[in-house]
Amino acid sequence: IAGITQAPTSQILAAGRRMTLRCTQDMRHNAMYWYRQDLGLGLRLIHYSNTAGTTGKGEVPDGYSVSRANTDDFPLTLASAVPSQTSVYFCASRRAPQGESPLHFGNGTRLTVT
């Protein structure tokens, strides 16, 4: 079934540790995104990539980095996790950065930083 796969589903992480959240899509979408969801704040864009080889900063990029070495994968790395990064993280993709193509979401990763 075509879609977006995120891993892990959930994770408890000690503060200061490094963590990479994985995101893979098999729809050959050009644009990919990382959001974090926090109660009362909705979803906020962390980083995005319009096409393989390019990335951009969203609303809340500090403490996170991304890479887009190929079309399918868009990992999100927390270099040194802090408790404020406790959140649910969603990866999403679209066929193209512009136009009417809808946004597809993964099922999210629940991350707890202790």
Partner 1 sequence: AQTVTQSQPEMSVQEAETVTLSCTYDTSESDYYLFWYKQPPSRQMILVIRQEAYKQQNATENRFSVNFQKAAKSFSLKISDSQLGDAAMYFCAYRFGGATNKLIFGTGTLLAVQP
Q: Is the dihedral of CA 55, 103, 40, 83 positive or negative?
A: negative
Site residues for partner 1 per CB under 8 A: 31, 33, 35, 40-45, 48, 50, 58-59, 88, 90, 92, 94, 97-100, 102-103, 105, 107-108
Nearer to partner 1, 33 or 72 (CB): 33
CB of 45 to partner 1, least distance (A): 6
Where b means 16+ CB within 10 Å and e means fewer, 30-56 reads bbbbbbbeeeeeebebbbbbbeeeebe
CB of 33 to partner 1, least distance (A): 7
